[in-house]
Amino acid sequence: MLEVKNLGFSRGRNVLFEALNFSVVSNSAMRVTGSNGSGKTTLLRLLAGLSRPDQGMVYWGGESVIKNYSDFVKSINFIGHDDGLKKQLTAAENLKLMLPLLGVSPSNQEVDSALDAAGLEYVKNRPVMHMSAGQKRRVTLTRLDFMSHRALWILDEPFTSLDVAAISSLVEKLKNHIESGGLLVFTTHQSFDVIPQATSLVLD
- Distance, in Å, from the CA atom of 171 to the CA atom of 27, rounded to the nearest integer, reads 15
Indicate the domain borders of the chain: 2-82+132-203
Report the relative pairing of strands 183-187 and 199-203 from DSSP bridges.
Answer: unpaired
- Distance, in Å, from the CA atom of 182 to the CA atom of 204, rounded to the nearest integer, reads 28
CATH superfamily of 2-82+132-203: P-loop containing nucleotide triphosphate hydrolases (3.40.50.300)
Looking at the predicted structure, is the pLDDT value of residue 91 above 80? Answer: yes
Looking at the predicted structure, is the pLDDT value of residue 192 above 70? Answer: no
The residue-averaged pLDDT of 88-96 equals 95
Report whether 38 contacts 26 (CB < 8 A). Answer: no
3-state percent breakdown (helix, strand, coil) of the chain, nearest 5: 35, 25, 40
The 10s digit of each residue's pLDDT in 43-86 is 999 999 999 999 999 999 999 998 888 889 999 999 998 888 99
pTM of the model: 0.93
pLDDT number for residue 191: 62
Residues in the chain: 204
- Distance, in Å, from the CA atom of 153 to the CA atom of 170, rounded to the nearest integer, reads 13
